[in-house]
Amino acid sequence: MKLRVAIIEGGRSGEHEVSLRSAAAVAAACDPGRYEVQRYRIGLDGRWSPRPILPEPGANPEIDVVFPVLHGTFGEDGTMQGLLELADLPYVGAGVLASAVAMDKDMMKRVCRDAGLPVVEWELATRAALDASRAVARFGFPLFVKPANLGSSVGISKARTPEELDAALRLAAQYDRKVIVERAIAGREFECSVLGNEHPEASVPSEILPSREFYDYDDKYLLNAARTLVPAPLDPAAAEELRRLAIAAYRAVECEGMARVDFFLEARTARFYLNEVNTIPGFTAISMYPKMWEHSGLLLPQLVDRLIELALDRHSEARKSRYAR
């Protein structure tokens, strides 16, 4: 019998359209001889089509495994993962805790810093107190300002003056009540794909060459001008260090299934800094997560097979736990 795979797409986030493109790529990569694919779309208003997945064990008998391809809030932040846990359904990707921690840039930085990993220094502001004076005093200009909970560079700005900083804070606060203000790193940008549950593996890394001052939403999805180099032009020792750090970050936030880990290489110090851990990376035609695995010898259909296997393995392992005396 074919395995019945429910792909969830769309969602209530600024990355809705990116999710639709990623989900289409995942669906196309599913071997029709092995899988029966069902598409579940969540609109920007939060409504499901054709119907919602119900948060009760046994209430979704038509589903064997779920592949959530939701980027950003209400999909990548632990909320969807919580629904699927309540429904007792196997699902691809990180669990509730890892999803929530990785999505919140402030919490991700805290966890990775405490694990001894190099993170870009930051200060936290809130919508109720949009004050970045501590960041200015610590780091000077320029600064990067980001919503704490979002992805695809939505709401991110580079501020070089007090006036630009004020505008950047107000923009970021439209997307989240928590705002990250970071020291700007002058250097190169790298990414690394990680795959696995208890024994994660890292792909060859890639380098991002933005066409703009930084790799923003337009550069990622609209302009088609940024370039990527896979494998990244790094000496073997540096590439191995990046892969080691990617796996360490993956483990620090307790990821499972998959993640794309992003880094800066600071020109002045030649030191890698962890930027983000993305627990549901993109699967579009330009997305780096599947591209890095392709260059590591794992084509997209094989990658989808492996992610589904990891989801089923984790669910089987979770069922060994007792929840009552």
Supply the pLDDT for residue 150. Answer: 73
Is there a catalytic annotation at residue 260?
Answer: yes
Is 192 within 8 Å of 255 (Cβ atoms)? no
The mean pLDDT values, 10 residues at a time, for the chain of 325 residues are: 97 90 97 98 97 98 98 93 98 98 97 98 95 96 92 83 97 95 96 98 96 60 74 98 98 98 97 97 92 97 98 95 86
Tell me which of 3.10.350.10, 2.40.50.180, 3.20.80.10, 3.40.50.20 is the CATH number of domain 3-93.
3.40.50.20
Is there a catalytic annotation at residue 45?
Answer: no
User: What is the C-alpha R_g of the chain?
Assistant: 19
Question: Rounded to two decimals, what is the model's pTM?
Answer: 0.93
Is there a catalytic annotation at residue 197?
Answer: no
Q: Which of 305, 284, 277 is CA-nearest to residue 9? A: 284
Active-site residue, selected from the candidate residues 91, 215, 221, 250 = 221
Active-site residue, selected from the candidate residues 175, 243, 262, 273 = 262
Active-site residue, selected from the candidate residues 152, 203, 275, 287 = 152
Active-site residue, selected from the candidate residues 282, 287, 289, 314 = 282
Longest dimension (CA), the chain: 63
Supply the pLDDT for residue 102. Answer: 97
For the chain, the structural domain boundaries read 3-93, 100-119+186-307, 122-183
DSSP secondary-structure letter at 185?
A: P
Supply the pLDDT for residue 147. Answer: 93
Is there a catalytic annotation at residue 152?
Answer: yes
Supply the pLDDT for residue 210. Answer: 82
DSSP secondary-structure letter at 53?
A: P
Give CA–CA dist 320/6, Å, rounded. Answer: 24
Give CA–CA dist 34/77, Å, rounded. Answer: 30
Give CA–CA dist 208/320, Å, rounded. Answer: 42
Active-site residue, selected from the candidate residues 40, 219, 243, 260 = 260
Supply the pLDDT for residue 151. Answer: 61
Is there a catalytic annotation at residue 203?
Answer: no
What backbone phi and psi angles, to 5 degrees, belong to 46?
90, 0
Active-site residue, selected from the candidate residues 77, 123, 207, 276 = 276
Q: Find all residues with CB under 8 Å of 308, minimum gap 6, and list them.
A: 3, 5, 35, 65, 67, 92
Is there a catalytic annotation at residue 134?
Answer: no
Q: Find all residues with CB under 8 Å of 36, minimum gap 6, and list them.
A: 2, 3, 4, 5
Supply the pLDDT for residue 215. Answer: 57
How is domain 122-183 classified at the CATH fold level? Dna Ligase; domain 1 (3.30.1490)
Active-site residue, selected from the candidate residues 15, 176, 207, 219 = 15
Residue 59: count of CB within 10 angstroms of its CB: 13
Token duo for residue 152: 């695809």
Token duo for residue 221: 């999805």
100-119+186-307 is classed in which CATH architecture? 2-Layer Sandwich (3.30)
The strand pairing partners of 263, in sequence order, are 190, 274
Supply the pLDDT for residue 286. Answer: 85
